[in-house]
Amino acid sequence: MLAEVGMRFSELSSLKRGCIEQDVSGNWWLTYYQFKMDKGHRVPISKDCAFIIQEQTKFSQELFGDEFGLVFFGRSSGQTWRRKQLQNQPFNKAIQRWAKDSDIRGPDGKIWHLTTHQFRHTVATRMINAGVAQHYVQKYLGHETSQMTQHYAHLHDKTLRDAFDKYHDGQVVDIKGVIHEPTDRDVDSSDLQWFRSNIQAQALPNGSCSLPTVAQSCPHANACLTCTHFRTSHEHLDTHKAELKKTEEILEKAHANGWTRQIEMNEKVITNLRKIVDSLEAS
């Protein structure tokens, strides 16, 4: 519940039976009271989350009947369930024991010190990192002002770094080192997969061929590094570097032996490989 909804512990512990409802479309909604804002708050939840609340409500009903109206409740030191509201301190101790038993560790290698409010931070950060607009995050968390949401709306350095690397790794170059940008960056994954399966003629170990399928198979698959239809990207950079080194050795041997045809062929390949490597490294 904390990990999905991002509610405060006080809001979770005071959650009342009958707090969920289903709309005409079959979607589930959770209504709870925000003490800090002194108002009711309604948010969409998943079917799994709704199921948990239903099962817990049923358990509460079986134990206490109608005498206790809360969904969650505490227990005594003797592990006996009691008609009392969950308390923050023992709950925090419980999840800290769980973190230890589950061997959950931080970047420093030490057992992570879990607290209930960290789940709220996580929900907000995940939504921001997933590209959810800040005003939606603000409404979901129940913040009255955007300044409150900005406290959570931070991108971790690693998230930004990964996005940056993914952008550059996605750049495609040809044998002249010219970067080819996609014509539509908003194409969805299903369209992209169809395009890759039906339009690209063949995948190569160090790139791909941009010839349309209608052009049929390429009779020069072993000459891609001199073909204008060849495309490659940053993920193949190491392969190109190794191939460049190998080709330079071949060319050196060809010069030493006076192999004119080998010299002519490999000089063209080396020229293109150097352009490819230089362009990918620069990008």
Q: Which of 8, 32, 234, 240 is catalytic?
A: 8
Using the 8-state DSSP alphabet, how is residue 81 labeled?
A: B
The 3-class SS string of 134-201 reads HHHHHHHHCCCCHHHHHCCCCCCHHHHHHHHHHHHHCCEECCCCCEECCCCCCCCHHHHHHHHHHCEC
- C-beta neighbour count of 142 within 10 angstroms: 20
- Kindly name the residue from 117, 121, 241, 268 that is annotated as catalytic: 117
Is position 167 annotated as part of the catalytic site?
Answer: no
Q: 16, 36, 47, 139: which one is catalytic?
A: 36
Select which of 32, 140, 143, 234 is catalytic: 143
2, 19, 92, 98, 123 from 104: Cα distances, Å = 17, 32, 15, 9, 18
From the candidates 32, 120, 234, 240, which is the catalytic residue?
120
Active site residue 17: no
DSSP secondary structure, 7-75, as one string: --HHHHHTPBTT-EEE-TTS-EEEEEEETTTTEEEEEEE-HHHHHHHHHHHHHHHHHHTTS--BS---B
Given 32, 152, 234, 240, the catalytic residue: 152
Query: Has 152 been annotated as catalytic?
Result: yes
Is 8 designated active site?
Answer: yes
Whether residue 36 lies in the annotated active site: yes
Question: Taking the C-alpha atoms of 119, 149, 28 and 188 in order, what is their torsion angle to the nearest 10 degrees?
Answer: -100
The set of catalytic residues is 8, 36, 117, 120, 143, 152
